[in-house]
Amino acid sequence: MTHNPYDLTGKLVLVTGAGTGIGHGVALELARQGADVALHYAHSAQGALEAMGQIQAMGRRAVAIQADLDPVEECRRVVDEAVAFLGGLDGLVNNAGITFTQDFLDVSEEQFDHIYHVNIRGQYFCAQQAVRHMITRGQDVRRMSPDGNWAGGSIVNVSSVHGVAGYPGHSVYAGTKGAINAFSRELAVELCPLHIRVNVLAPGSIEVPRYWQIRPNYERETGNTWVPWGRIGLPEDVGYLAAYLIADASEYMTGQVIQFDGGLTAKMALRIQGPGDER
C-alpha cells in the first residue's frame, strides 16, 4: 500500500493550550487526520474535555492535562504525562500563550515576567522535554519499520504576526513572539541531525472566543474587514496548516516562520487618499 504522507494515523501529538481557540481547532483537526492527541489546558477545562470527547468519538485516543506553564517543572510534567498516555511522541504543537494590551510606559515588571515565562519560557522547556522523548520514539519506530517512510519528529511553535509587525499596546507580547521566531530557527538547525523539524506558525486575525470578551459587540462581518483576503481566519484554518506541518508531507520543511494571515502582513500600512496623494 502506498504511504500517504498527509495521513497522521499512528502519530502521537501533544497540543498545548488546547482548551479553547486555536489550540482547540488544531487538536480536533489532527485527530480528524488520524492522530492520537494529548490536550493541555490551563483554565479552559470544559473546552478541553469537550474536545477530548469529540476526538474519542472519532475513534482516536485523547487525554486532557491541566497545568500552568509558568513553572518549568510543569512544562516537563505535561510532556511526560502526555507521553505516558500516548506511548511516545511524534509531534508537539506549542500553542499555549497569553496576551494583554498595555501602554509601554504602564507595563509592570510582574506583567513582563509572567507573559515571557508562559509565552517563551513555556515553549522552550516544553520543546526541550519533548525532544528527549522524540529521540526515543524515533529509535523505536526505526526498529519496528527499518524500511518505512518515517520523517522524524515535528515541533510547531505558534507565534503571531505581532512578531514581525508593530501594533500599539503590544510591546511585551510582540517581544515574546519575536523571541519564538528566533529561537525556533536556531533550534531547527540544531535538531537537523536528529531528524526533528521545527517550524513556526504565525497566525494573524483568527476569530477566537476572546474576541467577544474584549469586544462585546464583535461580529464576524467586522472581522472580515480587517483582512485583505476578505474574511477573518478561524481555528480550523490553523488546524489544516498545523496538520501539514506535523505530517510526513512537510518533511523537507524546517526552520520556517509562516505568516498565516490572509495577506495582513503583506499589505502596506499606507493611508492613500487618492491618486497622486501617496507620500
Q: pLDDT by residue (tens digit) across 102-158?
A: 899 999 999 999 999 999 999 999 999 999 999 998 888 778 777 655 657 999 999
Tell me, yes or no, whether 274 lies in a domain: no
Tell me, yes or no, whether 275 lies in a domain: no
Q: Are 206 and 240 in contact (CB under 8 A)?
A: no
The model's pTM is 0.91
Annotated active-site residue 177? The verdict is yes
Tell me, yes or no, whether 267 lies in a domain: no
Give the pLDDT confidence of 3-22 residue by residue, as tens digits.
899 999 999 999 999 999 99
Tell me, yes or no, whether 269 lies in a domain: no
Predicted local confidence at residue 206, as pLDDT: 87
Tell me, yes or no, whether 1 lies in a domain: no
Catalytic residue (one of 177, 184, 211, 250): 177
Annotated active-site residue 159? The verdict is yes
What's the CA gap between 92 and 157, in Å, rounded? 8
Annotated active-site residue 145? The verdict is no
Catalytic residue (one of 41, 173, 211, 244): 173
Tell me, yes or no, whether 34 lies in a domain: yes
> How distant, in Å, are the alpha carbons of 84, 167, 219 from that of 222?
44, 19, 5
Q: How many CB atoms lie within 10 A of CB 137?
A: 23
pLDDT beyond 70 at 273: no
Q: Is 266 or 45 the better-scoring residue by pLDDT?
A: 45
pLDDT beyond 50 at 276: no
Annotated active-site residue 160? The verdict is yes
Q: Hey, what's the cell of 23? A: 489550540
CATH number, domain of 50, equals 3.40.50.720
Tell me, yes or no, whether 278 lies in a domain: no
Catalytic residue (one of 154, 159, 184, 250): 159
Residue 209: give the domain boundaries: 12-260
Tell me, yes or no, whether 273 lies in a domain: no
What's the CA gap between 227 and 89, in Å, rounded? 36
What is the identity of the amino acid at 89? L
Catalytic residue (one of 44, 154, 160, 184): 160
What's the CA gap between 202 and 104, in Å, rounded? 23
Number of domains in the chain: 1
- Strand 36-41: give its sheet, edge to edge: 62-66, 36-41, 12-15, 91-94, 154-158, 197-203, 257-260
